[in-house]
Amino acid sequence: MIQLVDLCLNAGKFRLDRLCCTIPTGSYAVLMGRSGQGKTTILESICGLRPVRSGSIRLGDRLVHNLPPGERGVGYVPQDLGLFPTMTVREHLDFALRLRRWSTIDCNQRVRELAELLGIGELLGRNVRNLSGGEAQRVALGRALSFRPQVLLLDEPLSSLDEETRSQMHQLLVGVKQAMHTTTLHVTHSRDEAAALADVRLTLADGGIRVDTGE
């Protein structure tokens, strides 16, 4: 579950005040809204990269708004992916696992699972600088899912992809959603993405989050 209660944030030149929203455990929520409304700010606040002014953020049964990013259990895929340019695909997939001191056997097993799920088994030894846009997206997604986070945050993950790759990534995200059952908040401008993926549709407008019933 992701629950925001009276969340107040500073977002560049404007402020977001008293945001409230609940995304049930295991749901795939899509957040839409015009550019510059603060969608990315909300994601950054949930994963701990931006301080909150007041209010609370609950992930599962834990209040996390005072915890450092690494203790929140959030997998985050930013819009520009933020891949590590000096690392290989394998090093991305086991990065969080090595931090958690998983054994080599468990790391390798998890990397194999992710590589199979995301179709990147052939790329494990490649440096991420040599990947196509779609491949890089898969690696960023795999890195975020690697440590089995309770919450996954995706910031316009498909916006920079061509039509064909975007369609493949749609299918992939549907597959990930069915396989992982991770509570997900996905920011997008695309109604097609929302229609294909969303269990819960949210709209950020006029400084508040509205649940879109689709009616």
Partner 1 sequence: MPAASGESRFFLLMGAIGGSYVLLILLLLLADIAYVSPGDFRAALGNPEIQAAISLTLKSCTVSAILSVIVGTALGYLLVRFQFWGKHIVNTLVDIPIVLPPLVLGLSLLILFSRPLPGLGYSLDDWLRPRGLSITFTQWAVIVAQFSVAAAFAVRTMRVTFEQMNPRAEDVARTLGCTRSQAFLQVALPQAGPGMLTAFTIAWARSLGEFGPILVFAGATRGRTEVLSTSVFLELSIGHLEAAVAVSLLMVVLAVIVLSILRLTGGRTGG
Comparison of 74 and 114: residue with beta carbon closer to partner 1:
74
- DSSP of 192-206: HHHHHH-SEEEEEET
Instruction: List binders of partner 1 among 158-187 (CB under 8 A).
Output: none
Q: How far apart are CA 200 and CA 185, in angstroms?
A: 9
Interface residue with partner 1 among 85, 105, 164, 206 (CB under 8 A) is 85
No. of H helices and E strands in the chain? 7, 10
Q: How far apart are CA 182 and CA 146, in angstroms?
A: 12
Geometric angle at alpha carbon 3, from 81 and 49, rounded to 5°: 35
Query: Least distance in Å: CB of 100 to partner 1?
Result: 6
Quick one: DSSP state of residue 82?
A: -
Query: Least distance in Å: CB of 92 to partner 1?
Result: 10
> Count residues contacting partner 1 (CB under 8 A)?
27
Interface segment toward partner 1; rule CB under 8 A; list 11-19, 31-39, 63-71, 188-196: 63-71
Residue 102 makes contact with partner 1 by CB under 8 A = no
Answer positive or negative: Cα dihedral of 85, 91, 96, 100: negative
Query: Least distance in Å: CB of 213 to partner 1?
Result: 31
Amino acid in position 195: A
Residue 52 makes contact with partner 1 by CB under 8 A = no
Residues that bind partner 1 (CB under 8 A): 47-49, 68-70, 72, 74-76, 78, 80-87, 95-96, 99-100, 143-144, 146-147
